[in-house]
Structure 1
Amino acid sequence: MTPTTPPASARAARYAADGIVQVEGLLDPSEVDAVRTAFMEQVVRDREALAADDGLAADDVLSRYPRLMQPHRRPGLEVGSIARRLMTDPRLLDVVTELIGPAYGAQSMFCYKAPSARGQALHQDNYFLLAHPETCLAAWIAVDDCDAANGALAVVPGSHRMEVVCPETADAEQSFTSGLVRPPAGLDVVQTVMRAGDVLFFHGNTVHGSLPNTTRDRFRRSLIFHYVPRSSVEISQWYLPLVAPDGTDVTVAEATGGGPCGDGWAGSAH
């Protein structure tokens, strides 16, 4: 079973029930090609400019193809202008608004997931963003066709109703991140299958993750945005300033406290 695209009139109801909505073909092939080309050129030319600090070994394929964080803040780079433009694209924002109301952009991120790369253990996004009083919403854009073999997302429909929890320790052979959130009892992990240009929208409390890319020749690239309702009053400082639909920056208060892991918790980029 995989999430299916509901008609536009049913998207909000699907999101309320499952915390997940898949929209097929939101970006056309030429746009996806441009995204893929720009980010591949960036990682070859200068991967350190935007690379996440994931503490990876030099021989880890994820060091060669690291997550690129917050490219929308670098408009002088081609990948930056692409990310900022798509973050505020009406096609994305229209769906975001249907699901959570008027919103601001909070994060952009590009993942390469080259062949043999580890996955990311099941987790919840708002553990990192600490958006309040509502949670964040992810828009996960498939830049390649993806399925279980090359490490497509797995999601837990209905888990958006659970609170954000402090993670357990993940299996380091399977996940490049250390946290693991187990699905609530009675809810199943569902494997997604997506085509390039499809977008998966999901609630910030929804449990999701991915297994390693076991293929020899297929990347699983993705461009991800996170949004928060305009009613948000605070968010983790890493995600400030927020971005309004017209592209201008917006500031709210920095989140205080340690989140679900207590005051000793040190938040970092998702």
Structure 2
Amino acid sequence: MTNNLTSCDSKLEFERDGVELARGLLPLVDVETIRDTFMQQVESDRLALAADDKLAQNDILSQYPRFMQPHRRRDLSAGLVARKTMVDARITQIVTRLIGAAHGAQSMFYFKPPTARGQAMHQDNYFLRSNPETCLAAWIAIDDCDGGNGALSVVPGSHRMEVVCPEESDASESFTRGLVRPPEGMTAVQTEMNAGDVLFFHGSLVHGSLPNTSLDRFRRSLIFHYVPTASKEISRWYLPMTDLSTGNDVFIGEAGGGGPCGESWEGGAH
């Protein structure tokens, strides 16, 4: 797999690499609606959806915090947009092709403005603890993104490794504490995506991002996690899940451990 991931529609390729890129899946008019709605939310009330990250007040991410589970907030425009996108057939058709019938387990929105730190390499299912099947991410680029503004890097094939306990990350580069190193012989691939592209990847795939070193480019993204309907348990942080057909709440067993996607460093740690 080259530095520019290529689109594919083969389940065999997904099973080999653990990642699939869908170019131009969402039209720009839809992306602009998502971007504008979430920008209005962060500018009017950034705390309504903010994760409980312990960040210093002078950290730019305290002004543009990551939003967790916005789809649960039907009283907010951002919540309605997130929920509508979570169940969008253009996305869920690919989810179903890759992992079968699924429930929506999580939504997140990352703003990642200039100077923001990235998120060290990690595996999503360390946090979700979906069992016996793993989760699947759908990572929607809201801005054109590359290495300069902190786009994702992924390690193709790393989804075949076990979910492992993280080491400690570099606080100057990552706003979260955990770090998972790629398996020996595997290297990270820097993605380059346009607004409206969607990256689907396996919950055990090692992935992360470096800081946004651009002068004036955000790297906004709307992210969903899905789990197969055959899943028997998941970390309590992700309950209730969402039935993609009806929008109803779905409860399954609670898995031990897990938590929000990445524990942040204490304020001032970097």
2: CA distance between counterparts of 1:267 and 1:30?
34
Residue 4, structure 1, aligned to residue 6, structure 2: yes
Q: Deviations over 1:197-249 (max 9, x none)?
A: 00000000000000000011000000000000000000000100111112111
1: CA distance between counterparts of 2:121 and 2:49?
24
Residue 42, structure 1, aligned to residue 54, structure 2: no
- What is the Cα deviation at residue 23 of structure 1? 0.2
1: CA distance between counterparts of 2:18 and 2:199?
11
Aligned twin of 2:145:
146
1: CA distance between counterparts of 2:31 and 2:64?
19
| Residue segments in structure 1 that go unaligned for 5+ positions in a row | 259-265
2: CA distance between counterparts of 1:157 and 1:197?
22
1: CA distance between counterparts of 2:44 and 2:26?
26
How does 1:233-248 map onto structure 2 within 5 Å? 233-246=232-245, 247-248=247-248
Moved over 4 A (4+): none
Aligned twin of 2:21:
22
Aligned twin of 1:254:
254
- What is the Cα deviation at residue 3 of structure 1? 1.4
SS at 1:36 equivalent: helix
TM superposition score normalised by structure 1: 0.94
TM superposition score normalised by structure 2: 0.94
How does 1:79-118 map onto structure 2 within 5 Å? 79-118=78-117
1: CA distance between counterparts of 2:116 and 2:261?
19
Residue 206, structure 1, aligned to residue 201, structure 2: no
- Residue identity matched to 1:253: G
- Residue identity matched to 2:259: G
RMSD: 0.9
| Residue segments in structure 2 that go unaligned for 5+ positions in a row | 263-270
Contact 1:123 1:207 in 2 (8 A): yes
2: CA distance between counterparts of 1:26 and 1:241?
27
Contact 1:238 1:269 in 2 (8 A): no
2: CA distance between counterparts of 1:77 and 1:100?
30
Contact 2:146 2:193 in 1 (8 A): yes
- Residue identity matched to 1:193: E
- What is the Cα deviation at residue 78 of structure 1? 0.6
SS at 2:149 equivalent: coil
1: CA distance between counterparts of 2:205 and 2:110?
19
Aligned twin of 1:263:
none
- What is the Cα deviation at residue 269 of structure 1? 3.8
Q: Deviations over 1:164-215 (max 9, x none)?
A: 0000000000000000000000111000000000000000000000000001
Aligned twin of 2:259:
267
- Residue identity matched to 1:194: M
- What is the Cα deviation at residue 53 of structure 1? 1.1
2: CA distance between counterparts of 1:31 and 1:123?
29
SS at 2:126 equivalent: helix
Contact 2:124 2:261 in 1 (8 A): no
- What is the Cα deviation at residue 59 of structure 1? 0.7
Aligned twin of 1:127:
126
- Residue identity matched to 2:218: F
Aligned twin of 1:262:
none
- Residue identity matched to 2:221: S
1: CA distance between counterparts of 2:168 and 2:154?
19
Contact 2:145 2:194 in 1 (8 A): yes
Q: Which moved more, 1:217-226 or 1:240-249?
A: 240-249
Aligned twin of 2:266:
none
Aligned twin of 2:265:
none
Residue 176, structure 1, aligned to residue 175, structure 2: yes
2: CA distance between counterparts of 1:122 and 1:179?
8
